Amino acid sequence: MYKLIRRLATLFILSGALLSAKADTITPFFSSATTTTNNSIALGLPNAGATENIVGNSAWAAPLAGSSWVSYTTSGSTGAGFFSPANGTAVTFSETFSLSGPVTSAYLDVLADDTATVILNGVTIYNANLGGSYPTCSSLPIGCLTPTEGMFNTAQLAPYLNDDGSNTLSFVVYQEAGSSFGLDYAGGVTVKTPEPGSLLLLGAAFAGLALLKFRS
């Protein structure tokens, strides 16, 4: 009888240790009045306010999938209520999200007028091209047109992601050549997390260990 219990306990341990399946969990992030904050009020800027979705300038690229062009004021398209931030204005927009599990992939796409710096968890991963040419926003990435879209991949993002807790993604958006002003971004992080069945199998492993200890 003891040998049978020992064999069952061993099977529990092996099943729990070897069959711990993992699932992909995707955490998206994107510019939006509800997810993106800004520091314009703290800076004391004219027309400062909470982040709002804006109608983009007709010359801008369309918003990235799932996102909206955003600003701290109505600074996208000309017309009623339009406000143009002064040259030299620099506003930081941020979004915080949480991860739980090893990062397997990540991406981030960014558009801005005139241009932007990208900061992940306090680390600058891209410096804005200041002092350049601005025929329509920046002529170099990061700008507001598809050819000047900033695109970041896993290798550029993963080293600075916290895979067990909070993450903060920030963008310093600069006004360099007057007129419109705005930010658009979209991305996501994929992590591996235990499936519910996997947790049960791990529980079986612990039960097996308890049986062995009880019978030893």
Extents of the domains making up the chain: 1-21+195-216, 26-194
pLDDT computed for residue 22 by the predictor: 57
pLDDT at res. 181? 98
What pLDDT, in 10s, does the model give residues 182-208?
A: 999 999 999 987 665 444 444 444 444
- The tokens of 98 are what? 């949480």
CA distances from 95 to 8, 15, 39, 129 (A): 50, 41, 12, 22
Mean pLDDT score, 170-176: 98
Structure tokens at 35: 């997810």
Q: What is the pLDDT of residues 133-154, one digit of tens each?
A: 999 999 999 999 999 999 999 9
CA distance 138 to 148: 8
Identity at 2, one-letter amino acid code:
Y
Dump pLDDT digits (tens) for 81-136: 999 999 999 999 999 999 999 999 999 999 999 999 999 999 999 999 998 899 99
State how far the Cα of 13 lies from the Cα of 5, in Å rounded to an integer: 12
Please state whether beta strands 182-194 and 103-113 pair in parallel, antiparallel, or not at all (unpaired). Answer: antiparallel
Superfamily classification of domain 26-194: Galactose-binding domain-like (2.60.120.260)
